[in-house]
Amino acid sequence: MLCLYSPDQPDLYLRLLREALPECEILGWPEAADAAEAVTHVAAWGAPPGFFAYFPNLQVVFNLGAGVDSLLLRDDIATSVKIIRLLDAGMARQMTEYCLYGLLHYQREMDNYRRQQRAEQWIQRDARQANNVRVSILGLGELGQRVATDLLRMGYVVQGWSRRTRQIEGVDCRHGDAGLDQLLADTNVLFCLLPATPDTRHLLDSRRLALLPEGAAIINAGRGSLVDEEALLARLDQECLRFAMLDVFAEEPLPAGHPFWKHPRVIMTPHVAADTVPAEAVAQVAANLRKHAAGVAMDGHIDRLRGY
Ligand code: NDP
Ligand code: OXD
């Protein structure tokens, strides 16, 4: 039996899951509580603490999102339980849109024009062409790779960084500490599309942030923990960075009174850069559930040691 836990559109998910998996009994929550022993698979996002402990025979958790950091921090999922995440599921295209919005803000000087408008200044700045903007993407997975190839097609100069060596035609791919330092020093707009793991925590600390050239911009749509927020604030206050566009934060929702809320160089969104598309998520859950039943390896399997 499959149990669904989704605060977002639960009725739609249930309908889609039942259509996609007619052979499977599927219950929502809390309906599944009475049949908890029969539940072997759970599809969930944002489940409350202790939720997975209800299911003594749990085998697989399907994460209805890309990032699994919060699942891996929980103590109610036994290590024998497989964790499966979504691969793209409609998020990659949205991530390109989000990144492009920030990139155009930089390239077309919207931050500067907004400042000028407030000061009633009519100053025409020189137009900057895409092939004169160096974009660096930290994380070349499902999302980063798509953003890289989309921006490349639009004419930007694209560099990327990942744990293992990647080869993407037209993209200058780097890895390792030295590769990261070189990439940062050669960046106009930096996109953070890494997962939150112990290795990526505060990857962008004050030393690395200081490697970015004067006037660069940062767009973080990965996870808040990737950036040392205090160090970022200091760089913004010193006007070393033109702006930061932030979708994710160390603490979400961002606490009241946090300096990011009103910072003139911060553009904020409430963790909405790329939303799971239910139909695509359900198609992946259904395909994987059938693979599991057939004893075939599922796609999107999380390596707990690696943390993503
Ligand atoms: P993937 O697992 O497909 O890709 C992760 C990438 O990060 C890979 O290229 C991986 O390297 C790289 N990476 C991981 N650890 C390190 C490290 N220590 N050093 C260098 N590179 C590293 O993830 P997705 O692309 O699907 O998603 C990325 C993240 O985006 C998610 O984990 C989530 O946090 C975030 N996200 C945010 C959303 C939002 O709305 N704001 C929506 C969806 C996702 P390698 O290629 O070598 O494995
Ligand atoms: C995700 C997210 O990881 O929405 O899917 O952040």
The single residue of 105, 134, 208, 223 carrying the catalytic annotation is 223
* DSSP E strands, 28-178: 41-44, 60-63, 82-84, 134-138, 157-162, 172-175
- Say what the pLDDT of residue 212 is: 98
Q: Given the CA of residue 64, which atom of ligand 2 is nearest to it?
A: 5
**Is residue 18 flagged as an active site residue?**
no
Q: Does residue 22 have a cis bond before it (omega within 30 degrees)?
A: no
Average per-residue pLDDT for the chain: 98
Could you say which of 15, 271, 290, 304 is catalytic?
271
Which residue is closest in CA terms to ligand 2's atom 3? 67
Task: State which H helix or E strand residue 3 sits in.
Answer: strand 2-5
Q: List residues near ligand 1 (CB under 6 A).
A: 66-67, 91, 139-144, 162-164, 166, 193-197, 199-200, 221-223, 247-248, 271, 273-274, 308
Which residues have CB under 6 Å of ligand 2? 65-67, 276
Which residue has 């990139």 as its token pair? 103
In this prediction, residue 50 has a pLDDT band, given cuts at 50, 70 and 90, of very high
Q: Reply yes or no on whether 223 is catalytic.
A: yes
In tens, the pLDDT along 149-203 reads 999 999 999 999 999 999 999 999 999 999 999 999 999 999 999 999 999 999 9
What is the model's pTM? 0.97
